[in-house]
Amino acid sequence: MSTSKPVEWVTALIERFEDQLPIKCGELTNQMHLNLEQNKECLISLSRFKFSLVINGLTDILKAIDNTRYGGFDQEKNIYESYLIVLDAVEQCLANTKDMSTSRLHEAIYVNRLLPVVCKLLNVPGDGITVQHVRQLASNVLFALSVNNFSTLFSKVVSRLESLITSGDETYEAGDLDLIQHMNVDMLKLTRLLNEKVQKWRSLKKIHHTELVKSVEKAIWNWLDTYPEEFTDLQKRPNAELSDNCEKLFELLDSFGESNRRKVQYVWPLQTMLLVLCPIILEELVYALEKGGPCSAEHLRKRNFVDALKRQLHAQVLGKQHSAGGTESAAVVTFVKLCKAATYINNKDSNNVL
């Protein structure tokens, strides 16, 4: 095929790749699998030079898989295996892209085409290993997509928050809020995310607060896993803007937790992680609780929060009667996560208050 027609060549390769998927061929032999992998690697390599063309082609394949009718166990198996192959290709294309010719318009087009398909796969039903793998790969794709398209994804989160605020329907779905859990965020982006939540929190209906709490905590853990060096540096050089947003969100969560005791299993872990991101405040609390030092009035609620956690944990250890809201077990989970956060810092570091 003539190399003077790269678009036709890439299109033909995408079509060949689709024709080799299990939804078209059924169960793959070793040779068929090898041929499919070779074509996938070719597409990944070509995406460095014809990114929009390749990514849009793969998106079309995902849509075609989604439109495939289920026809028994074998067909269902072929559908999920096809998803795995294509999602893996998409993730690698996004991770390896170096095509600087992709315009902002083309970026917006491919992101808006890809997002709905991938987001749908985040919630694909089922508990089987293959289905779980599909959900994980969909999450990986969103993570890779957010590296170069964070503003686009963030705008969708903001738009969804505003829609939730203006909608009078409490059953209105949180939708794009799920994106928060899967985005690549460094400290600046995390700060931006927290600031947005602080601004919108009071205007949101309570029914949506829990989902937001779970999403924000997951975003913090994603940051710790992806940028552990930033967390280590934060212990030495606290960030005033981040601390300010963490404090404000902590106070909002404190009020929410007091009025919704059955939600503390989600609220307390996030409150604790917010304190972890404020090393100066955490140091004051540790000094006040462990050595009887003074605690400023502005941080009294935080001290009371930690005190309450310790009491609930003590009650769990002693095997006392469980409360109706399950606060003792929530305290255990919270302290486990606190211990996990401590592992991200060298225990020999003099700046480590964890």
Give DSSP secondary structure letters for 151-194: HHHHHHHHHHHHHHHH---TT---GGGGGGGG----HHHHHHHH
Domain boundaries of the chain, sorted by first residue: 1-184, 189-354
Can you give the pLDDT at residue 351? Answer: 59
Query: How would you write the pLDDT of the chain (354 residues) with one tens digit per residue?
Result: 444 577 888 999 999 999 999 999 888 889 999 999 999 999 999 999 899 899 999 999 999 999 988 776 688 899 999 999 999 999 999 998 765 556 666 677 888 899 999 999 998 988 889 999 999 999 999 999 999 899 999 999 999 899 888 876 555 566 678 899 999 999 999 999 999 999 999 998 888 898 899 999 999 999 999 999 999 999 989 999 999 999 999 999 998 877 777 788 899 999 999 999 999 998 888 877 777 777 777 778 888 888 888 888 877 666 655 555 567 788 889 989 999 999 998 776 655 666
Distance in angstroms (rounded) separating the CA atoms of residues 255 and 34: 57
What is the distance between the alpha carbons of residues 268 and 308, in angstroms, rounded to a whole number? 11
pTM over 0.85: yes
Q: Is the domain 1-184 a CATH 3.20.20 member? A: no
Interior angle at CA 340, CA 225 and CA 122, nearest 5: 50
The three-state DSSP-derived secondary structure of 281-319 is HHHHHHHHHHHCCCCCHHHHHHHHHHHHHHHHHHHHHHC
